[in-house]
């Protein structure tokens, strides 16, 4: 059996790696060890519970007011000891978090081969997103196996000189996760009824806009401008806005300063993945700077306005399921109203096929690793 360490530390990583964990655990060719860092403690635990994943190792590094340097050094020190004691045949990391970067570095120092799930995403701008663009470039540089979600991300790697034999196009694992959770909701009326009750405050006669925002590059005024756009959209009277506000104090401050007690806008706590999928499915429109939402919403037929100036996920922009609108208040309002007020345009965007995969990314990753090892 090949010993595989799967390392992650945040909720988005947990969601996207859950199908990978389950696929490896089910394959007798591998001894799978799941290690979490706890970079995002409570939100990580929510995802682990939903997907019924019990980590073998929990570094539990989260500290109040932690910096990126704190996360990096705690992860690096913790994993260096573990890798020395367990000597895995390979380490799998996901995406572009500080946990993923530090785990790849720890493996590199121990000369353990790394597999990078969701490789090849690029904006070309180290400041946007920051520090994620640096993280993913570094991880791709030291990884032996690069699991690119799309042909576009594979081409980005090839343009940087990565050999073809190191690249496998798999689709995005978040689609695997989304489809499994959506299927669960469709076949569990009791759970759906509980969610209907949880969100009974929503007016079924109004169109629903679901919002998220957390990117660091938007902390310097961008979030406030987005919030002003939401306040303006709420005055239409025919829409209702739900904004699960990220726990980061910069996000909390911007949302409360602009939107607190605004009619038609509900500022709620961050949601577990299951209720958030429920909200996405009920939504008419999403406004977000989240990478995952750019990938997930098209599978549900939901348009997304991306509140960023650049994105490492150009496939959805090219396909037309997402629109890059930045954080200009007037632009966000104008683009939202185009979709809300033009039924033909809305129907056209909603019908576009999701460019991010078919829900079978995890089995492709397992098969590629089996062939390689």
Question: In Å, how far are 16, 178, 276, 327 from 51, measured between CA atoms?
Answer: 11, 11, 14, 34
- Model pLDDT, residue 39: 85
Instruction: Determine the Cα–Cα distance for residues 267 and 270; give it in Å rounded to an integer.
Output: 9
Q: Which fold has domain 186-350?
A: Rossmann fold (3.40.50)
What digits encode the pLDDT tens for the residues 323-349?
Answer: 999 999 999 999 999 999 999 999 999
First-to-last C-alpha distance (Å) of the chain? 10
The residue length of the chain stands at: 373
DSSP labels, 241-269: EEEE--SSHHHHHHHHHHHTT-TTEEEEP
Give burial (CB, 10 Å; 0-12/13-18/19+) of 140. buried
- Mean pLDDT for the stretch of residues 69-91: 96
Domains 2-172+358-372 and 186-350 alike in fold? yes
- Model pLDDT, residue 168: 98
Instruction: Determine the Cα–Cα distance for residues 5 and 89; give it in Å rounded to an integer.
Output: 8
H or E element, residue 114: strand 114-117
Question: In Å, how far are 59, 96, 218, 246, 247 from 250, measured between CA atoms?
Answer: 26, 21, 10, 9, 9
Q: Do the beta carbons of residue 90 and residue 66 sit within 8 Å?
A: no
CA of residue 6 relative to chain centroid, distance: 17
Q: Do the beta carbons of residue 271 and residue 244 sit within 8 Å?
A: yes
DSSP bridge partners of 168? 147
Whether the bond between 129 and the residue before it is cis, its omega within 30 degrees of 0, is yes
Q: 132-142 vs 98-109: helix axis angle to the nearest 10?
A: 30
Q: Which residues are catalytic?
A: 96, 118, 132, 214, 216, 246
- Mean pLDDT for the stretch of residues 290-319: 92
> Tokens 């389950």 appear where?
22
- Mean pLDDT for the stretch of residues 13-42: 94
Check pLDDT > 80 for residue 217.
Answer: yes
Q: Do the beta carbons of residue 87 and residue 107 sit within 8 Å?
A: no
CA of residue 339 relative to chain centroid, distance: 24
Check pLDDT > 80 for residue 40.
Answer: no
Q: How confident is the model at residue 278 (pLDDT cuts 50, 70, 90)?
A: very high
- Model pLDDT, residue 16: 95
**∠ CA 346-350-352, rounded to 5°:** 125
Domain limits of the chain? 2-172+358-372, 186-350
Q: How confident is the model at residue 274 (pLDDT cuts 50, 70, 90)?
A: very high
Check pLDDT > 90 for residue 19.
Answer: yes
- Model pLDDT, residue 184: 86
- Mean pLDDT for the stretch of residues 11-25: 96
Q: Which fold has domain 2-172+358-372?
A: Rossmann fold (3.40.50)
Higher confidence at residue 219 or residue 133? 133
- Mean pLDDT for the stretch of residues 138-160: 97
- Mean pLDDT for the stretch of residues 293-310: 93
**What are phi and psi for residue 306, nearest 5 degrees?**
-95, 115
Check pLDDT > 90 for residue 248.
Answer: no
Q: How confident is the model at residue 353 (pLDDT cuts 50, 70, 90)?
A: confident
């Amino acid at each position: 059996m090949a010993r595989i360490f799967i390392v992650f530390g945040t909720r988005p990583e947990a969601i996207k790696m859950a199908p990978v964990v389950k696929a490896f655990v089910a394959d007798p060719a591998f001894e799978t060890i799941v290690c979490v860092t706890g970079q995002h403690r409570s939100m990580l635990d929510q995802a682990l519970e939903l997907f019924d994943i019990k980590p073998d190792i929990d570094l539990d590094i989260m500290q109040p007011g932690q910096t990126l340097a704190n996360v990096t050094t705690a992860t690096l020190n913790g994993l260096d000891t573990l890798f020395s004691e367990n000597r895995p045949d390979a380490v799998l990391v996901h995406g572009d978090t500080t946990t993923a970067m530090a785990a790849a570095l720890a493996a590199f120092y121990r000369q353990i081969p790394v597999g990078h799930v969701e490789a090849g995403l690029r904006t070309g701008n180290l400041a946007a997103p920051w520090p994620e663009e640096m993280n993913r470039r570094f991880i791709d540089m030291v990884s032996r196996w690069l699991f690119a979600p799309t042909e576009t991300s594979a081409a980005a790697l090839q343009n940087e000189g990565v050999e073809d034999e190191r690249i496998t196009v798999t689709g995005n694992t978040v689609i695997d996760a989304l489809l499994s959770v959506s299927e669960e909701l469709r076949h569990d009326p009791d759970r759906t009824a509980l969610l209907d009750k949880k969100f009974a405050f929503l007016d079924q006669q109004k169109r629903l806009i679901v919002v998220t925002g957390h990117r660091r590059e938007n902390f310097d005024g961008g979030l406030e401008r987005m919030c002003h756009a939401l306040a303006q959209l709420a005055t239409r009277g025919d829409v209702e806005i739900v904004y699960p506000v990220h726990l980061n104090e910069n996000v909390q401050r911007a949302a409360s300063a602009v939107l607190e007690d605004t009619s038609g806008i509900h500022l709620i706590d961050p949601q577990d993945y299951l209720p958030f999928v429920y909200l996405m499915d009920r939504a008419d429109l999403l406004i977000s700077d989240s990478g995952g939402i750019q990938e997930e919403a098209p599978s549900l037929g939901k348009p997304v306005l991306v509140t960023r100036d650049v994105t490492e996920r150009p496939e959805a922009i090219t396909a037309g399921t997402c629109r890059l609108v930045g954080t200009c208040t007037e632009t966000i309002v104008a683009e939202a109203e185009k979709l809300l007020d033009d039924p033909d345009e809305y129907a056209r965007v909603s019908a576009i096929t999701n460019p991010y995969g078919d829900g079978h990314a995890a089995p492709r990753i397992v098969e590629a690793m089996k062939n390689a090892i």
